[in-house]
Structure 1
Amino acid sequence: MKVKVKEFRCSLIWVSLFRQGGMLEKNVTYQHEFDNTDSSSGEWSAPWSEKNRVSFWEKYLDGKKNCAVNSTKAAHCLVPLRAKDIGKIISMNNDEINGKLFVYGEGFAYPHGVACIITLRWQANDGLLLEEVADFLIKLRYGYYQWSKRITRSNLNDISLEILNYLSGKNRGELYEHLDPYTITAIVDADNAKLTEKQNMDKNLHEFLHAISTFNKRWKTAKISKIEDALLPTKGNQKYDVLYAYRSGRSIWLPEYFHQHRSSSERKSIQYISHYQRNITLATMQAAYLALFLKRINKQMKNGRNLTAEEIDCAQIAAGAVARLYGACRKSYMSSSLPRQLQYVKDEINAVRSRIIPTGRLLG
């Protein structure tokens, strides 16, 4: 029997810097806003939720429980603030075949930039074949939506730019550029999925994972990566668990956690895949901001521009934080996805680290 996907979750992540620092660049302002996150009158909240088991922020903050994080600690780790009122995103794609589609938007503010995450979550009635899911996801990626704070319908790229500009206004910054998104897609549940060792996955699954990592409309005729180049190590290096990487795209296929296999192992959790996808999404956003900021600092230093005191402080923090995400500290959040993501800007990061943290180890 052929594999039928019952549920997927796909997050698109846009991160942009300001031309100059925003309102939160000043430590005193950031700490005031963070201290006000629990107030009903505040515009921002902490980026985590106490209602779920997503662990990225706790591990990023060296094991400190989120509820115990104060504004000083948050500022010293460049933790973003999450906008409370981001509005709703409504799908204008009327062909939500064979199931229900939920769309969520989130906005985050940093000292020198902003980020937007748009998540597409789909649950099936009867399930779709891998090929059908690939076509459907690509259709959703480039389809039309409406953001509740604007009247016109737009694609996700345009809506993300509108949200980033909206966040920039709240953070009193001006966007410098609008880059292509990172994508993190997880198949949350599927029927008839065999427990095949990942190195021996069949051609159909390989092509499918490549398609939902690239969102190439011509994926059926596109050249795909060698399987050994695309597979990243997973936690515990489980032989069936797949974390597939292609440039800025990631796909997650963990068949042991699908409903049909859950009863066979005590470690199965109905929400594990969703939590795993969410952790990688947040880690990708944080690493992207840190890397973009350090890349700019490197360019400014090469051009002989004098950095402000706030920029130097943030650069020192970012240089340390990005090294921990790269794998320099086992107490921090670790994922093989992050070194692959950061390798494209490793030289720029190392150039800043060698000047700002001369005694620190360079990224290998």
Structure 2
Amino acid sequence: MIMFKTSLRTIGVMTSGGDAPGMNPAIRAVVRTALANGIRVIGIEDGYEGMLNGRFREMGARDVGGILQRGGTILRTARSMEFKTPEGQRKAIRQLSSAGIDAVVIIGGDGSLTGGMKLQEQGVPVIGIPGSIDNDIYGTDMCVGVDTALNTIVDAIDKLRDTASSHNRAFFVETMGRNCGYLAVQAGIICGAEMAIIPEYETPFKEVAEAVEDAYKRGKSHCIIVVAEGAKLNANELAAKLQEMNVGFDTRVTVLGHVQRGGKPTAFDRFLATRFGVKAIEFLLSGQTGVMTALTGRDITPIPLATVVNNRRTLSEEYIKMARILAR
């Protein structure tokens, strides 16, 4: 955590990396809280790519009106390979300086926050807001977008169970999450899946086959297996192998894909994003920089960006144990 003089006149706000439901409420909170404190706000469009190319626009209170319920991000987002280079970072800093931007609020995932730390190290005051449906960011109990994505998954699995029961089928449902199994485990618990297959733990194929066959022998009319996209066992391969083994159920695969990123943010995500946005400006006004807003219990606390990007979030053993017990 770094302290700096609070002579803020203009701040930039941007969204970066993968979009997450709730980014718009976070933008709204940043803009209106800054304006209420006499600070000018510049929206940086298209993430770091837009920062490099000077895609800046001034934002007033009305520019963020009517966006609370909108998914995605009105500032848009993009990934930038150029920004990862020292030359790209120097170019971005020159653009910020030319626009008179004194500090930047960055809403995004671990890659976006890593970029923010690079700016911070070169003298640009930065506050990060964790926005990622994967909930894989260290230091915060919850990221913006997780609750909405999880509700989307639950709704999809509930509907799949209806058709699975009607046709005596086993469904393999692939969720997002990259190398983090949070969404898959949570969905498995909430939806009563027979198993959740995640990157953090290697699941032998034999164990999957036994779980599906056991469900059939117990007279179940369906079987649901949730598979995180980063798991070693691929949903399509699992379904094909089990179909050949004739374990009782016909097998089907549903890859939920990017539908998990879209949709109206839930009440929880709207409120969390708003709290993060307000706190981001409060941290800057108090002279704090180089930190991320984090949900710690019920409080929003500042966590150093260096701590965030240099550590990996681990999945709770309690959740994994719970998923296994309740699937029996």
What TM-score do you get using the length of structure 2 for normalisation? 0.28
Larger Rg: 2
Which is bigger in relative contact order (C-alpha 8 A, separation at least 6)? 2
For normalisation by structure 1, the TM-score amounts to 0.26
